[in-house]
Amino acid sequence: MSSQWYASQRYQLVPAPGGLALVQDFLNTAGIEGYGPDLLADSALADDWVAAAVRAWSAARGLDAQPPPLGGADLSKLRALRETIAQLVAGEPPTGRGAGPVAASLTLSKTGEVRLEPAGAGWRWLASALWGEVLLSQQDGTWRRIKRCHNPQCASTFYDRSKNNSGVWHDVKTCGNAANLRASRARRRERASGAQRPARG
């Protein structure tokens, strides 16, 4: 894969700042017609995504983390976790299927920083990294800027950089214009059907 945040770059998205880009990229592994397959659909795709994403995340966090080996059972757990985090982004109550407890480690860096580092193996290691980033972003206020595109045919996850946090499309030119065009056509049809109705009298 040519890009470190490959899943998000399928939508030509700018990554979220810092380690939060891992969460964004994880959500964008979902397959969407016209953009690409589900990157957690099979072991080969998942291994490629994990290797690239963990390298990028390690660089963003100044760590030397190695991608966790994944077994066949890990993929279904990761897909359930993706669904749970997507529900949080959408403001829906999580179903709990992908929200099982995972461990994390607190370590002290050489520069005196306390760091939250992933623990466990397989899907649990990734879940630990992802929940750690969600926790940190909720605390620093950036979590509310992680959003799902309002175009149902897209539904990619983007980081809203607008000043008032009002963005609803991952790309106004594509998804925003398409939605506005559909709404405009619907209004025209409604007006036309109203004009054709016989007056009551």
Q: Looking at the domain assignment, is residue 116 inside a domain?
A: yes
Tell me the per-residue pLDDT of 88-139, one tens digit each, with 9 for 90 and over.
Answer: 999 888 776 666 789 999 999 888 989 889 999 999 999 999 999 999 999 9
129: left (phi over 0), alpha (psi -120 to 50) or beta: alpha
Q: How many CB atoms lie within 10 A of CB 172?
A: 12
Q: Looking at the domain assignment, is residue 189 inside a domain?
A: no
Which range, 68-72, 149-153, 176-180, is most confident? Answer: 68-72
| pLDDT at 171 > cutoff 90 | no
Tell me the per-residue pLDDT of 140-150, one tens digit each, with 9 for 90 and over.
Answer: 999 999 999 98
Q: Looking at the domain assignment, is residue 55 inside a domain?
A: yes
Q: Looking at the domain assignment, is residue 179 inside a domain?
A: no
| Number of domains composing the chain | 1
Cα separation, 185 vs 110, whole angstroms: 61
| pLDDT at 50 > cutoff 50 | yes
Q: Looking at the domain assignment, is residue 19 inside a domain?
A: yes
Percent pLDDT > 90 in the chain is 56
Q: Are 20 and 133 in contact (CB under 8 A)?
A: yes
pTM equals: 0.84
Q: Looking at the domain assignment, is residue 39 inside a domain?
A: yes
Domain that holds residue 86: 6-144
pLDDT at 72: 84
Which two tokens mark 163? 């000043």
Tell me the per-residue pLDDT of 64-81, one tens digit each, with 9 for 90 and over.
Answer: 899 999 988 999 999 999
